[in-house]
Amino acid sequence: MKLTKWIKILVVSASLIGLAACSAHKSRAGDDSAVSDANAAYNSDAQSSGLGEESGFGDQASSRGQLLSKRVYYFDYDSNVVHSDDRPAIDANANYLSAHPNAKVMLEGHTDPRGSREYNIGLGERRARAVADMLTAKGVNPSQIRIVSYGAEKLAAPGHSESDYQLDRRVVLVYLQR
């Protein structure tokens, strides 16, 4: 009889702890505005589809403009290691940000739909932080960078093939302010 009572107390306690843990992870007001800024950038006419199709900035050389316009960086499955092919484009954006201290960017981390929601949010954040670390290593002020992880919430491709998943595993660099 006493064992049943202790089991009930344990189950109720575990439930309360679980609810407390969920409610403790409320987003801060700054995070909400950052997400709103990123969504506005996606929807504005000044920002293209987010897949790096824009032309370069003003009077930049063509090749440099192409590097600056590349703002989607893809990752391998379950990895947050930046591909060496993406480093020149990240460096070009870092140079632009360093030269323009009022410019601000949002790094959006994305994953494919495999894995739990919590794991994917964490992986998306690790991917965005990997790009942010490269930017700051090149002299970009950390206050110019915002990070948000969408996990698998905003898929690039709705399918379930490996080629669709490859498009989902990405970080998108969005200029919020130039």
The pLDDT value given to residue 69:
85
> How confident is the prediction along the chain (178 residues), in pLDDT tens digits per residue?
676 776 777 667 766 676 655 554 444 444 455 455 555 554 443 344 343 434 444 444 566 778 888 999 999 999 999 999 999 999 999 999 999 999 999 999 999 999 999 999 999 999 999 999 999 999 999 999 999 999 999 999 989 999 999 999 999 999 999 8
Its CATH architecture, for the domain 26-177, is 2-Layer Sandwich (3.30)
Find how far residue 121's CA is from the centre of its chain: 9
Quote the strand ranges of 6-127, DSSP E. Answer: 72-74, 104-110
C-beta of residue 127 within 8 angstroms of C-beta of residue 109:
yes
* C-alpha–C-alpha distance, residues 82 and 131, integer Å: 7
Regarding pTM above 0.75, the answer is no
User: Residue 143 gets which letter from DSSP?
Assistant: G
